[in-house]
Structure 1
Amino acid sequence: MKLSVRPLALLLPATLIACGGGSGGSDDSGSVSITEIQLGDALFHDTNLSLERTQACSTCHDPDHAFTDPSTNGNGNVRSASIGDDGVSLGDRNTPTALYSASIPEFTYGTHQRFNSPQGDYTGYIGGQFWDGRAATLEDQAGGPPLNPIEMNLPDKATVVARLRENTDYEDAFTELYGTNIFDDVDEAYSAMTQAIAAFERSPDMSPFTSKYDKFIRGDYEYSPVSKAALGKARFFSQQFTNCATCHQLRPNGNEGETFSNYEFHNIGVPVNTRLRTANGSDEGFTDTGLAAIDAVSDEPDTSELEGKFRVPTLRNVGVTAPYMHNGVFQSLDTVIRFYDRHLVSSTNGINPETGIAWAAPEVGENISFTELRQGNALSDNDIEGLVCFLYSLTDEQYEHLLPADAEECGL
């Protein structure tokens, strides 16, 4: 069975010579080479690595939609969670973008500096893949979905490796990249697969840094001083007016490579997504405790203070990757910003604009990060519009066509 989804990656002549990085080419003998990145690219797009051969990593992390899941539900809204390979199973969390995932540090406990914030240094858990940080590295994350019963649904590593070996291009590539005996050990072969996918996710194309904000940092773009986006930019980085940068700034002002997350863990009081829970058939009374439930913190004498905490996501391409929050409970950025604002004492945003009623109670009412959330001044409607516009400017150039119509009013 030859690979058909990414022909530039693997549909090569029979002799495959590993060169360890960069793009494929020819060595002095004329043999065509393949890299670990190209192999990972092919694996990322291969639906044969799911039980019914319907789902690849790229199914839920669609490259044409900023590596998120664009599938919609019966109401025409983007789904809060992705459908599994069986066409029925539905998860409980929103699919995050795979873009910039290489910038997420390995899961650890530590301290780091905050920028544009009156708050002190953060000490606590940092990083890790998935919303709860349960996969320490990209390799660990890549190994999860093929075996997850509500995702790609293969029963064990041996079955995954058997699927790999159906493809002779894969066999050639794996043996050249990882050794002639790589398939002698199922665990080693499975690990090699995750290594290749992680290499693809670490490739420059997965962290493009081509947004208007990046161009501004490089001196190739200017925000019009009278634009809504310029107002939003000033508010975002302000210590006086907002709390945005406290959790969504990684580097000092003006530095390239800003990912707009410092990868802290917080409970911000997100309510249950009741429609999603009804759709996925969760047990009545189920509570998603986030960080508190992962194995890496199981040695803690008391994990109650970790309940309800999730890793701060990147804001890159946030304008085209709705819905929002770990459970996809909100559909618009305007709603998200009003949700944050409602924590401020003087806020007038007491109503959820998507429901027309007061904000629902937090799923986990304890451990809410009020110290961070209650910093700043209540926002006006103009401030909120400006912040939305600034967030639109974090969209990479290749995805700007996906921005909603109101982006035309931002002055970008």
Structure 2
Amino acid sequence: MPKTARGARLALALLASVFALPAAALGASDDGGLSPLERLGKRIFEDASLSRPAGVSCASCHDAATAFQGVNGSPVPAVARGSLPSSLGKRNTPTIMYASFAPPFAFIEEKDEKTGKVEKIPAGGQFHDGRAADLLAQFEGPLLDPLEMNAPSKRFAVEAIRDGAYAPLVREVYGEKIFDDPDRAFEKVAQAVVAYESSARFHPFASKFDDFLRGTAKLTPVEQKGFALFKDPKKGNCLACHAGKQESRDPQDWLFTDFTYDALGAPKNTAIAATASAPDLGLCKRPGLEKIAPAGFDVASVCGAFKVPTLRNVAVTGPYLHNGVFQKLRDVVAFYATRDTDPARWYPKGEKFNDLPAEDHGNVNTNEGPYDRKPGQKPRLSETDIDAIVAFLETLTDRPAAK
């Protein structure tokens, strides 16, 4: 969860000014409030004819009922089922809620508050490893992935849309000649999906916590305690990574992520066949990372690191962590609190970081609270504290607008 402050405050402030959109109902099933471009994106997002075999759409694994996250009926709760019955994903499906706020993948400057040294660290992008620079690049990943929608090509997707029921809407939005150039048409199709995923439907800021910020709701005593523990650098220290501006009452200043990457040393999930024999090293295996990394950056230093997720809607987006190893939200918080004080609770025989090669164990965050503990020491969070933080996290769930 935590890490030293990343210098992401400036990025958060900039993003807040870019994405000032009105609220809308979470997971609304109709087209209300959508522009023609966003409506087209919704049609494509829900189009199950784009997979091979047909039957799986973006919405199959990004279910509005669970904050646009899901597993498409997978027998393994940690990973989604693809269009082929035998196809299972390699990682836990991330929510798309609030994903449009993530800046493009890049290296940003971070100043160490203790030493004053400035270094560049990776931040932003889409997917757990940031391999898509932005939402536009993200669209084609699941579409063409053999383990997901398994579409044979971009041209196939364009032709399926051209011959489908909403082709008139495509022409209405982009003009009669849109399908003349398949490459250009695919780019426009992707832009429509991005427009939909960037609409207020995916970031309604409609939680109890948002109402608390606006002054129209009050947190219960246990929720207040959880919020205090969440912010306290000597307790949960969650705010170090799951960022928010403490001085602000604007919900858009509380995205609960700084978009950076952290190595948590998650326990191995033996239910995922794709990583049963080889660990998932995350960011260091991002294609092309070596080419864009600044001079002197050690790519191996981010093996085991994954993007810090937003905590908005976290109570309904389980399972948790990149490998879905935890089904319950409370277990995630308890893991953060006791990973280092009671390793046997989480790892077989108490052998920590069992999903990483020994040479990468040094990448795991062990210096900051609540990780700065040793076996047998008192955790920074008690069991009661853990319950309080969970109660606070449950206030981050967006609620449907009143009809």
Alignment counterpart, residue 165 of structure 1, candidates 148, 162, 166 = 162
Superposed displacement of residue 122, structure 1: 7.9
Alignment counterpart, residue 292 of structure 1, candidates 279, 284, 304 = 284
CA distance in 2, matches of 1:379, 1:308: 25
The structure, 1 or 2, with the larger RCO (C-alpha pairs under 8 Å, 6+ apart) is 2
| Corresponding letter in the other structure for 1:249 | A
Structure 1, unmatched stretches of 5+, are 1-5, 10-21, 25-33, 400-412
CA distance in 2, matches of 1:217, 1:359: 42
| Corresponding letter in the other structure for 1:236 | F
User: Are the aligned partners of 2:72 and 2:82 in contact in 1 as well (CA < 8 Å)?
Assistant: no
When the two structures are superposed, what TM-score results if normalisation uses the length of structure 1? 0.79
Superposed displacement of residue 342, structure 1: 2.5
- Residue in 1 that maps onto 2:399: 397
CA distance in 1, matches of 2:251, 2:148: 35
| Corresponding letter in the other structure for 1:239 | P
Alignment counterpart, residue 315 of structure 1, candidates 311, 317, 322 = 311
Structure 1, residues 190-223: CA drift from partner, whole Å, max 9, x if none?
1111100000000011101111110000001111
CA distance in 1, matches of 2:122, 2:173: 35
User: Are the aligned partners of 2:60 and 2:72 in contact in 1 as well (CA < 8 Å)?
Assistant: no
CA 1:122/1:45 → structure 2, altered by over 3 Å: closer, same or farther?
farther
Alignment counterpart, residue 134 of structure 1, candidates 131, 134, 139 = 131
CA 1:167/1:124 → structure 2, altered by over 3 Å: closer, same or farther?
same
| Corresponding letter in the other structure for 1:84 | G
Alignment counterpart, residue 94 of structure 1, candidates 92, 97, 107 = 92
- Residue in 1 that maps onto 2:245: 251
Spell out the pairing of 1:164-313 with structure 2 (5 A cutoff).
164-170=161-167, 172-224=168-220, 227-254=221-248, 255-257=250-252, 258-277=254-273, 280=274, 282=275, 284=277, 286-299=278-291, 300=293, 302-313=298-309
| Corresponding letter in the other structure for 2:148 | E
- Residue in 1 that maps onto 2:345: 352
CA distance in 1, matches of 2:129, 2:155: 27
CA distance in 1, matches of 2:267, 2:257: 22
What SS does the aligned partner of 1:366 have? helix
Superposed displacement of residue 319, structure 1: 0.8
CA 1:122/1:324 → structure 2, altered by over 3 Å: closer, same or farther?
farther
Superposed displacement of residue 106, structure 1: 1.0
CA distance in 2, matches of 1:118, 1:244: 19
* 2:355 is the counterpart of 1:363: yes
CA 1:243/1:375 → structure 2, altered by over 3 Å: closer, same or farther?
farther
Q: How many residues align?
A: 357
CA distance in 2, matches of 1:157, 1:246: 40
What SS does the aligned partner of 2:107 have? strand
Alignment counterpart, residue 109 of structure 1, candidates 107, 110, 121 = 107
CA distance in 2, matches of 1:69, 1:231: 31
User: Are the aligned partners of 1:243 and 1:375 in contact in 2 as well (CA < 8 Å)?
Assistant: no
Superposed displacement of residue 133, structure 1: 0.5
Structure 1, residues 357-376: CA drift from partner, whole Å, max 9, x if none?
64653422231122335359
- Residue in 2 that maps onto 1:37: 38
* 2:66 is the counterpart of 1:65: yes
- Which of structures 1 and 2 has the bigger CA Rg? 1
Superposed displacement of residue 317, structure 1: 0.9
Superposed displacement of residue 186, structure 1: 1.6
CA distance in 2, matches of 1:119, 1:269: 26
CA distance in 1, matches of 2:368, 2:282: 19
% identical equivalent positions:
34
**328-337 or 251-260: which moved more?**
251-260
User: Are the aligned partners of 1:97 and 1:321 in contact in 2 as well (CA < 8 Å)?
Assistant: yes
CA 1:118/1:94 → structure 2, altered by over 3 Å: closer, same or farther?
farther
Structure 1, residues 249-295: CA drift from partner, whole Å, max 9, x if none?
14344332111111111111112211122xx5x573x2211111112
- Residue in 2 that maps onto 1:56: 57
User: Are the aligned partners of 1:335 and 1:352 in contact in 2 as well (CA < 8 Å)?
Assistant: no
CA 1:61/1:73 → structure 2, altered by over 3 Å: closer, same or farther?
closer
- Residue in 2 that maps onto 1:385: 387
The Cα RMSD (Å) is: 2.8
CA 1:359/1:63 → structure 2, altered by over 3 Å: closer, same or farther?
farther
What SS does the aligned partner of 1:372 have? coil
User: Are the aligned partners of 2:255 and 2:312 in contact in 1 as well (CA < 8 Å)?
Assistant: yes
What SS does the aligned partner of 1:371 have? coil
